[in-house]
Chain A
Amino acid sequence: MGAADLASQKTRKLKTPWVFIAICMSPWVFGFLFFTAYPMGASLYQSFTKFNLIETPKWVGTENYVRMFTDDPDFWKALKNTVWISAVSIPLRIAFALFTAWILTKPKRGSNIYRTIFFLPAMVPTVAATMSFTYIFNPAIGPINKFLEFFGIKNPPMWFIDPHWSKWALILLGLWGIGDTMIIYLAGLLDVPRSLYEAAAIEGASGWQQFRYVTIPMMTPVIFFSTVTGIIGSFQYFTQAYVAAGQVNDYSHSMYFYATHIYHEAFRAYEMGYASALAWVLLIFTLICTLIMLQTQKRWVHYPNGSLFK
C-alpha cells in the first residue's frame, strides 16, 4: 500500500466521525427545526400579519406592534400586572425559599420527612392547587376568613374577589408551592463549606453575621439562578391567574397578566397575528431583562471557583 493510499484511508477515517456525529444529533436537530425553529419563524411572520385562524394571513407590516403601544389599554393593564407580580413575587420567593431551606438544615432526625412535607405542595397540579385556593380563600365559606374572624378580624379581605387583594392571594399560592425552589436552595446551603462557618465562629461572628457574611455570599449563585428563572417564569405567568380568574368574577382584570392577554387575543379575539406580535415583544423584553441580570451578576455573584463570565 502506497503513501497515497494511506493518506486516502486517513482522510476517510477523519470524515466518518462527522457523519456519525450528525446522525446522533439528528433527532435533536429535527426536533429543534420542527418544534422550535419553524414555530418561531411562523410566529414572527404572523406577527406582521392580520390572521384570524380561518382566512389567509394578510400582511399588515408593523400595524400590530404600533397598535400594541398606542391603541390597546389591555396591553398596559396586563404589562402593569405582570411587572407587579414579578417585582413582588421574586424577592418574596427567594426570601421564603431561603428561609424554609435554612429551617430544613436544622433537624438532625427526620430531616427527609420534613423535606418531603415541604416539597409536596410543589407536586400538586397547578390547576387543582389554584382551584383549592379559591375555595380556601372564599370570603364567605373559606376556612382562612373563618380563622381570621375567629381572631377578631371583622372584615377580612375578599381575596381573589377583591381587586386589591387578588394578586396577594396569588402570591400566597406561589409561596405555598415553594418546594421546587426550596430544594435548590437547600442543596446550595448544604454545599457551603463548614470550614467557613468554623472560621467565622473563631473570629467571633454571631449567627446573624455568619448568615450575612458567609451564607449569603456563598448562596449568590443560587440566588442569581432563581432570580433569572423567576423573571422568565413570572413574565409567562398564566395558569394560576387564568384558573383563579375563571373561578371568580375578575371584572377589574386585576389577575389579567401578559400571557393571559396573549391567550385572549389568540383564542378569544381570534387575532393570531396580534397575539404573535405580543409574544415576540415578551421574548425581547425577557431577553433584555436576562441580559441585564447577566451583566450585573459580576458585581454581586460570588463563584467560589471563579466565574465563567469574565
Chain B
Amino acid sequence: MTKKRLFAAVTAVAMVAGTFVGASSAHAADRTVTVWSPYKGGNLDLWNASLKRIEKANPGLTIKSVGSVDMAKSLAAINAGNGPDISVANGAGNLGWFCGTGAWQKLNTLVAGSNGINMKSTFAPAAVDYTISANNRCGLPAVGSETFGFYYNKDLLKAAGYSAAPKTTKELLDMSIKLTKFNSDGSIKVAGFVPWAGYYGFEMDAMWLGLMFGAKWYGGAGEPAFASDAKWAKAFNWQKDFIAKVYGGGDFKTGSTKLTKFVAARGDEWGAGHDFVSGRVAMKLDADWMAPMFCDPDGWALNPCTKPAVNFGTAPFPVDASIAATNYGSGLVGGQVMGISKGSKNVKDAWIVLKGLATDTQLAIDYANDNGSVPVLNAALKSGKITYPAIYQTFYNIAANPKSGYHTLKNTGEHLEDAEIYNFMSAWQAGSVSDLKSGLKDVALKVSSIITRNN
C-alpha cells in the first residue's frame, strides 16, 4: 500500500471513529435535565435526594438541580429561551396560563403513553383536577400541597358552652355571636369568626366563601358563574348578615367599621402574635401547614403537638345547611405544580424526571413528616409511614374527600379571576356595593373579558 493510500485509510478510520465518539458524547450530553424549584433548606435536601434516586434508577441520566428559584424567574428564563427543563410553581393558580400559553408543554400524550401515569389511581382527586386546564394537562402535582380546614380554640369554645366546631354556616353565626367579646369602647376584643377578605387569607378568601355555599366558578359552557349561580349571592348576603349581627348589633355599617379596625390591628401572621395563637379570634379557616405554627410558633414543629401554643381543634369547613349532607367534610385543596418548560430540548428525559418526582413515595412521606402537609400521592397516604398528631387527621380526611378541590383553572394571567372576586368581596364588606346582583354581573363580565383576551 502506498503512503498516500495508507494515510487516506487511517484518516477515514479516524473520521468514522470520531463520529461515533462524537455521537456518543453528544448523546451523553443530551441526557442532562435541569430542574429549577422554589425549595430551600431541608426541603431542597429532600428534593435533591429524590433526584439522586431518579439518577440512580436511570444510568446515563444527569440531573442538575437549582433551588430557591421562584416561578417568575423561571418564566423569564423560559421567555428568553434558556429556561430549565422542569420548573415548579408554588401554587396551582397560574396553571391555566402555563397551559394556555405553552409555557409548560402539553403532557397528555406522555401521561397516556407506555411510560405514563394513571392519574386517578396515583393521586388524590383534587391533585388530578388542579393540574389540568381545558383538557390540557401541562402539569403534575409537585410534592407540596395545601389543604384548608377549620381551626377552633377549644378553651374559648368551652367557656362559651360549646364542645364541638360548627358544621353549618348558621351554627357558625350563632356561635360567633356568643364567642365575640367587646371592649368598653365598643371595639372588638375577641372575634368569634372573621368572614373578611384581607384577614390573613387575601386572595383565597373568596374561594372559601364560595366553597362554604357550594358556589361554582364556571357554568356548563365554561362561562363565569358569579352572576348566574345564585349561591354566590347567597354567600355574600350571609357574609353581610354575619357582619351586621355579630359585630354591628344588627347594623351592617357599624359591624363593617369595627371589623375594619379589628383587622387593621391583626397580629403578625408568622409567630406567636397571630390572632388565633393570642386568642384574639376563636375560629379560623386556614391551611394545614399552619398547624405546625399553632403547635409551636417558634420552631414550627408538628410532632409532637403535646403542648401547643393554643389549645386548638380542627374540623372541616362549616357549610350551608342546604349542602351539608353532601359537602360537609370537603374543603379547599391546592398544591404545588410542576411541568416541562417550553423549549426543553430533552422532553423524553425530562418526562422521566418529572414522573419520578411526582410518584416518589419516599419524597412525599419525608416532605409530609417534615412540613406537616398532606401528600397528594396515594402510595404515600397508604404507606402508614407518615406521623402526625390526631388533630391533623381532619386534613387527611378533607384531602381524600371527592368533593374537595380547587376552582376550575382557566387561562387568566396570574389568576386574575381570583383577584376580581376578591376585590368585589372587599368592596362588598366595606359597604361600597349597593347592588349585589349588578356587582356580581360586573365581576362575571370582567373575568369573561380576561379569558377572551387570553385565549
Contacts and interface: CB of A to CB of B under 8 A. Distances in A.
B423 A54 contact: no
A71 B453 CA distance: 12
A71 to B, nearest CB: 8
Nearest to A149: B185
Interface residues of A, number: 22
A278 to B, nearest CB: 14
A269 B414 contact: yes
Interface in A100-139: 138-139
Given A53-B75, A251-B423, A252-B432, A268 B264 contact: no
Given A54-B78, A54-B79, A269 B450 contact: yes
A143 to B, nearest CB: 13
A308 interface: no
B416 A138 contact: no
Interface string B78-112: 11000000000000000001000111000000000
A79 interface: no
Contacts of B449: 71
A269 B101 CA distance: 12
A252 B101 CA distance: 30
A163 B414 CA distance: 25
A167 B262 CA distance: 22
A271 B452 CA distance: 13
Nearest to A140: B265
B414 A268 contact: yes
Contacts of B101: 52-55, 270
Nearest to B188: A140
B75 to A, nearest CB: 7
B454 interface: yes
A140 B416 contact: no
Interface in B32-57: none
Interface string A152-184: 000000100101000000000000000000000
B413 interface: yes
Given A54-B79, A140-B265, A270 B97 contact: yes
A92 to B, nearest CB: 26
B102 A54 contact: yes
B97 A139 contact: no
Contact of A270 (B262, B264, B413, B430): B413
B453 A271 contact: yes
A202 interface: no
Q: Per DSSP, are chain A's interface residues mostly helix, strand or loop, or mixed? A: loop
A286 to B, nearest CB: 27
Contacts of A158: 260-261, 264
Nearest to B341: A54
B261 A139 contact: yes
A55 B75 contact: no
Interface in B408-427: 413-414, 416, 419, 422-427
Contact of A251 (B261, B262, B426, B450): B426
B342 interface: yes
Nearest to A265: B413
B197 A249 contact: yes
Given A54-B101, A270-B97, A138 B265 contact: yes
Nearest to B446: A73
Given A249-B198, A251-B423, A139 B414 contact: no
A140 B262 contact: yes
A141 interface: yes
A138 B413 contact: no
Identify the interface centre among A140, A141, A253: most chain B CB within 10 Å of its CB: A140
Contacts of B450: 269
Nearest to B202: A249
Interface in B281-300: none
Interface in B246-288: 260-262, 264-265
Given A52-B101, A251-B426, A252-B427, A269 B265 contact: no
B342 A54 contact: yes
Contacts of A269: 413-414, 416, 450
Contacts of A163: 432
Interface in B102-157: 102-103
Interface in A28-71: 52-55, 71
9 contacts: A54-B101, A54-B103, A138-B264, A139-B260, A140-B187, A140-B262, A248-B264, A251-B426, A270-B414
Q: Return the 4 tightest CB-CB contacts between A and B, nearest first.
A: A251-B426, A140-B265, A249-B198, A269-B413
